[in-house]
Amino acid sequence: MDSATVEKIIKEIGNIAPAHEGEHVGRVVAVGDGVVAIDGLSKAVMSEVLVFEEGKGKRLAGSMEAQGELYGLILNLEEDGVRATILGDTARVSEGMTVKSSGKILSVPSSEELLGRVVNALGEPIDGKGPFKKTRLMPIERQAAGVIDRKSVSVPLVTGTKAIDAMIPIGRGQRELIIGDRGTGKTTVAIDAIINQKYEPEATRPICIYVAIGQKESKTARIAQQLREQGAMDYTIIVDAPASAPAALQYLAPFSGVAIGEYFMDKGRDVLIIYDDLSKQATAYRQLSLLLRRPPGREAYPGDVFYLHSRLLERACRLSEEKGGGSITALPIIETQEGDVSGYIPTNVISITDGQMFLVTDLFNKGIRPAIDVGISVSRVGSAAQTKAMKSVAGGIKLELAQFRELEAFMQFASDLDKATADRIESGRRMVEVLKQKNGQPIPLEKQVAALYAAGHAFFLPVRVNKVTEVEKQYMDFLDGQYAKTLASIRKSGQLSEDDKKALNKAMEEFRLAHAESFK
């Protein structure tokens, strides 16, 4: 192209004379550790998104090669400027850089297109499957639904884990904390709950969101692979803020996850969201707060760390029919140190949630998995949502297990036991075996009911303790083959009718006769 043509094009562009809007700007005066101090921006508001102007002084070609816009988020409004966190690579920000105010509160895109995808804390796809076409922007910070807009928890959320569904039932719209030391199977319990949703009818199946905060990339990749293999990724979204991501993104990830969930809840859908884990989010927030020079409090956390978690978890709710009847069920995870649940963050989240399940290292090492300590685990609202079928078979299990644990401890000192005590111990041992479950293998509700019904009717008592799991599996296969109608009836009605009980009694008898060698 000759220079005359170039001049002509430039003149033509000049003639277009578009209207220019003045933008509200500030200037970076200090930058470090993911936090910037900005002079100016006196009209900016809290949580407003900023755009760093990287192109100044660069040639057009250089600006075009930039890796997308670099954003910041205002976290402190000060007398002579603002302090913001950089939502990206700090190395791209330099002193003197112009920062534009966007006038927008941070939002993430959400739509059905996100299902089956992995996104970062800003809702940008990171799985290499291309950009989203049509999405709706959902604000990251939103006021939780008020009392009038809510409805009490009444619909069960089946996790597929017998110990949970029987003794610590979870309802849709509930917040149930999963707490325990590292390596006790917290993530496994949560992932099994996601996998189990494949047994739900499509119309009522919850949309699942797994928020990975400060996790290893390899772990998140493994979880995505597991969900894909189990066919659970079709209804799941993964929000990933790995350990290598800036603290700001780790702090924002749970809010992004719930904002994406709210899109579906507003449409009347049920959502299951897992925050794995909030201890790491609190740590990221502590880092940010210290860099922002906010006064440190207990364990150096800032004063509003309780509010950080309460405003997040309050967004989990069940909406009234007038508001569409959607729900968000939250399963936050907290990691404890050496089983200490009296730490600052664990006690905060325990007090916010509607119950908690404790996973214990001792049980895990004894091979009792999931390693849930049912004695100290509780669900405050879930029993209202438990199906009648499960209620009828699970009523006495918690008590039976508690008695078993006491007797088991007592047994260490007593050599001679009366028959009633010995029977109770034997029954307890078998119940513990029945409640064991392999990871990645959630069990549908009707089979859980059948297994617990059998356990409650001393079906496994003649079986050797180390054979209980095997016999249970054979019995389930037998029911699948011979009593599929009964299982379907329990699933459909959610109740254990007299006919179902008769059928199960008959099934147990038939199975006992067919496998007499296991019942000696």
Partner 1 sequence: MTMETAYAQALWKMVEGGLTPAKAVRALEVTLKVHGREALLPRIASAFARIAQRETKRSDIVLTVAREKDIHRARLSAKKYLDGMVAKSARGGSALGRDLKTQIDDTLIGGWRLEGKETLVDASYKNQLLALYNSVTRT
Part of the chain binding partner 1 (CB under 8 A), chosen from 39-47, 109-117, 449-457, 481-489: 39-47
Size of the site for partner 1 (CB under 8 A): 30
Q: 154 — phi, psi (to 5°)?
A: -140, -10
CA 84 to chain centroid, in Å, comes to: 28
CA 357 to chain centroid, in Å, comes to: 14
Q: Which CB sits closer to partner 1, 17 or 203?
A: 17
Part of the chain binding partner 1 (CB under 8 A), chosen from 58-66, 150-158, 399-407, 439-447: 58-66
Part of the chain binding partner 1 (CB under 8 A), chosen from 51-59, 177-185, 238-246, 384-392: 51-59
Distance of closest approach, residue 46 Cβ to partner 1, in angstroms: 18
Q: Which one among 8, 30, 58, 204 touches partner 1, defined by CB under 8 A?
A: 58
Report cis status (omega within 30 of 0) of the bond before 127: no
Say whether residue 146 binds partner 1 (CB under 8 A): no
Q: Which one among 40, 123, 173, 370 touches partner 1, defined by CB under 8 A?
A: 40
Distance of closest approach, residue 13 Cβ to partner 1, in angstroms: 6
Rounded-to-integer distance, Cα 226 and Cα 207, Å: 17
Nearest in space to 51 (alpha carbons), one of 17, 101, 4, 109: 101
Mark residues 10-29: x for contact with partner 1 by CB under 8 A, - for none.
Answer: x--xx--xx-xxxxxxxx--
Q: Which CB sits closer to partner 1, 14 or 295?
A: 14
Part of the chain binding partner 1 (CB under 8 A), chosen from 63-71, 148-156, 263-271, 507-515: 63-71
Residue 99 structure tokens: 């920062």
Q: Which CB sits closer to partner 1, 60 or 420?
A: 60
Q: Which CB sits closer to partner 1, 137 or 221?
A: 137
Q: Which CB sits closer to partner 1, 24 or 205?
A: 24
Distance of closest approach, residue 368 Cβ to partner 1, in angstroms: 52
Helix (H) or strand (E) holding 466: none
Sorted by sequence, the CB contacts under 8 Å of residue 400 that are 6+ apart come out as: 424, 427, 428, 431
Choose, from 380, 405, 429, 512, the residue flagged as catalytic: 380
Q: Which one among 1, 4, 5, 57 touches partner 1, defined by CB under 8 A?
A: 57
Q: Which CB sits closer to partner 1, 14 or 201?
A: 14
Q: Give ∠ CA 337-343-348 in degrees, rounded to 5.
A: 125
Q: Which CB sits closer to partner 1, 14 or 146?
A: 14
DSSP label of 5: H
Distance of closest approach, residue 281 Cβ to partner 1, in angstroms: 29
Part of the chain binding partner 1 (CB under 8 A), chosen from 56-64, 237-245, 396-404, 484-492: 56-64
Q: Which CB sits closer to partner 1, 27 or 464?
A: 27
Residue 190 structure tokens: 């949560």
Distance of closest approach, residue 345 Cβ to partner 1, in angstroms: 30
DSSP label of 244: T
CB 165 within 8 A of CB 377: no
Distance of closest approach, residue 88 Cβ to partner 1, in angstroms: 15
Residues 71-130 that bind partner 1 (CB under 8 A): 79-80, 98, 100
Part of the chain binding partner 1 (CB under 8 A), chosen from 60-68, 248-256, 412-420, 510-518: 60-68
Part of the chain binding partner 1 (CB under 8 A), chosen from 36-44, 215-223, 247-255, 322-330: 36-44
What is the secondary structure of 100-160 as a DSSP string? EEEEEE-EEEESGGGTT-EE-TTS-B-SSS---SS-EEEESS-PPP-STTB----SB---S
Distance of closest approach, residue 104 Cβ to partner 1, in angstroms: 17
Helix (H) or strand (E) holding 90: none
CA 332 to chain centroid, in Å, comes to: 6
Say whether residue 134 binds partner 1 (CB under 8 A): no
Distance of closest approach, residue 49 Cβ to partner 1, in angstroms: 16
Nearest in space to 88 (alpha carbons), one of 51, 44, 58: 51
Distance of closest approach, residue 221 Cβ to partner 1, in angstroms: 27
Q: Which CB sits closer to partner 1, 77 or 243?
A: 77
Residues 421-480 that bind partner 1 (CB under 8 A): none
Sorted by sequence, the CB contacts under 8 Å of residue 123 that are 6+ apart come out as: 108, 109, 110, 114, 135, 256, 260
Nearest in space to 214 (alpha carbons), one of 284, 261, 274: 284
Rounded-to-integer distance, Cα 127 and Cα 121, Å: 13
Say whether residue 59 binds partner 1 (CB under 8 A): yes
DSSP label of 173: T
380 catalytically annotated: yes
What is the secondary structure of 302-369 as a DSSP string? BTTHHHHHHHHHTT--BB-GGGT--EEEEEEEEE-BTTBTTSHHHHHHHHHSSEEEEE-HHHHHTT-S
Q: Which one among 8, 42, 367, 440 touches partner 1, defined by CB under 8 A?
A: 42
Rg of the chain, C-alpha, whole Å: 28
| Residue linked to tokens 């992995």 | 118
Q: Which CB sits closer to partner 1, 43 or 492?
A: 43
Binding site for partner 1 (CB under 8 A): 10, 13-14, 17-18, 20-27, 39-43, 55, 57-60, 63-64, 68, 79-80, 98, 100
Residues annotated as catalytic (active site), given as ranges = 380
